[in-house]
Structure 1
Amino acid sequence: MLPAVLASGWASGVNAYLCVVMLGLLGRLGGVEAVPEALTRIDVLIVAGIFCVIEFVADKIPYVDSAWDAISTAIRPTVGVVLGLLIAHDAPSLEQAVLAASGGATALVSHLVKGGLRLIVNTSPEPVTNIGVSLGEDVAVAGVATATVLAPWVAFSIAAVLLVLGIILLVILWTRVRRGWRRFTAWRTRRLAPS
């Protein structure tokens, strides 16, 4: 159960609605029994689908994506908790609580990494990078969500690697952005200083 909880937590931290839609469709149309029944309900799929379309569009627009990420700060980890709880429904209550918390914590970390990286990508003057990164995230979430119920250890391994790479990339890029900002402010200060 833990690999599936952590993988679905990672996926929900990046795009909660797509994760729910993928899992729900796999359970409803694909007949995958590992999918919690609550995710296969029509009302859940419709609401998640609507928000999935909204996120798909919002996530491709520079700075709108960061505003959407800010709004999603409470939503994505909460979905990670709920998915963890649904996946662990047969476990004893203490184990359910630990798994739900693990799913939420993983979702929070992946959400913060995604949000940080997207803020850095938004400093790029062209929109192609933003769209490319967003599409890459969508493909990764769809793949990890699918593997979560078909091959949980594979999904966990992929999610773990992507999370670690995301953290490393965030640290490297953030350092470069800060260095560039310091150079810019020093240049601007010299330029505006009286002669």
Structure 2
Amino acid sequence: METLDTGLWQQLVAWLHGMGIHLGSGVVNEVGSQVGSGVADVAAKLDMPSLLALAAALGWASGFRLYAVVFLVGGSGAMGWLPLPEGLQVLQHPGMLAASGFMLFMEFFADKVPGLDSLWDMLNSVIRIPAGAALAAGALGADGSTMALVGALLGGGLAATSQAAKTTTRAAINTSPEPFSNIGMSLLEDGMVVGAVWLATNHPVAFGILLVIAVVLMWIVTWMLFKFLRAVFRRMSALFSSAPKEA
């Protein structure tokens, strides 16, 4: 990873030279060594608790914003901010970044329109859970198939939890005619994805504690909103069935 990041720094220096900005060799070597040292320090933090936290974050956040997760993690790896495990290095490929960036752009706006957000949710629900399982497996699967299976179960379960909470919450919000609650909830989900990835990679223990609390709250909210939605649907069915019929 250090060699890769030093190469990126050299490419940046070459680009600056092409723009007519010249840096002395001493500055180039000094900054390059500092960049490589910084990346090496970050890479040293990716022990098993950090990998577990990263796998859990990828699975949980995928239930909300799969494309944001792929683009954020892949972009961080390509910029040298986050040393990716071998199973996730495909995310920093330029083609993958272009595809995930395009889908992220589409989802960012589709998720903030009442009605369209639920349709988008339904269309993407078939991919979020298996993708969350695959991302978590990629984070843990470098040491063998057993850890890859553990990661898949962890990521898939967390993605299913967040997906269920998102779907029921949005369905309940869409019963209100005003659009601001949709926009506010969507922006909150955007922030939670960024915060989850950052916290998992910088403070894995704190992330683990907060994740347990968040999962329990999501189960409670999903159960309560599911009962609420069933009651709404029953009232609507009764209303339409009791409406006077034209002769």
TM-score, normalised via structure 2 length: 0.70
Distance (Å, rounded) in 1 between the aligned partners of 2:89 and 2:95: 12
Structure 2: gaps (5+ residues): 1-50
Once the two structures are overlaid, the 10-residue window that deviates more, 71-80 or 134-143, is 71-80
Inter-CA distance 108–174: structure 2 relative to 1 (3 Å threshold): closer
Task: Kindly indicate whether residue 166 of structure 2 is the aligned counterpart of residue 121 of structure 1.
Answer: no
Structure 2 match to 1:88? 140
1:56 to 108, 119, 133: 108
1:67 to 119, 138, 143: 119
Once the two structures are TM-superposed, the CA of residue 162 in structure 1 deviates from its matched residue by 2.5
Distance (Å, rounded) in 2 between the aligned partners of 1:52 and 1:11: 14
Whether the 8 Å CA contact 2:137–2:147 is kept in 1: the answer is no
TM-score, normalised via structure 1 length: 0.86
**Structure 1 segment 41-190 matched on structure 2, within 5 A:** 41-182=93-234
Greater relative contact order (Cα 8 A, min sep 6): structure 1 or 2? 1
Whether the 8 Å CA contact 1:144–1:158 is kept in 2: the answer is no
Once the two structures are TM-superposed, the CA of residue 171 in structure 1 deviates from its matched residue by 2.2
Looking at CA atoms only, which structure, 1 or 2, has the larger radius of gyration?
A: 2
Inter-CA distance 189–33: structure 2 relative to 1 (3 Å threshold): closer
Secondary structure of the residue aligned to 1:123 is coil
Secondary structure of the residue aligned to 1:89 is helix
- % of aligned pairs identical? 32
Once the two structures are overlaid, the 10-residue window that deviates more, 137-146 or 20-29, is 20-29
Distance (Å, rounded) in 1 between the aligned partners of 2:122 and 2:240: 30
Distance (Å, rounded) in 1 between the aligned partners of 2:216 and 2:59: 14
Once the two structures are TM-superposed, the CA of residue 173 in structure 1 deviates from its matched residue by 3.0
Whether the 8 Å CA contact 2:64–2:163 is kept in 1: the answer is yes
Whether the 8 Å CA contact 1:23–1:146 is kept in 2: the answer is no
What per-residue deviation string (whole Å, max 9, x for no partner) do you get for residues 83-106 of structure 1? Answer: 112201322212212212221222
Code of the residue aligned with 2:127 in structure 1: it is: I
Secondary structure of the residue aligned to 2:125 is coil
Whether the 8 Å CA contact 1:3–1:156 is kept in 2: the answer is yes
Once the two structures are TM-superposed, the CA of residue 30 in structure 1 deviates from its matched residue by 4.3
RMSD (Å), alpha carbons: 2.2
Secondary structure of the residue aligned to 1:72 is helix
What per-residue deviation string (whole Å, max 9, x for no partner) do you get for residues 124-151 of structure 1? Answer: 1111001100110010011112223233
Once the two structures are TM-superposed, the CA of residue 187 in structure 1 deviates from its matched residue by 6.3
Q: Name the count of aligned residue pairs.
A: 193
Whether the 8 Å CA contact 1:77–1:108 is kept in 2: the answer is yes
Once the two structures are TM-superposed, the CA of residue 181 in structure 1 deviates from its matched residue by 4.8
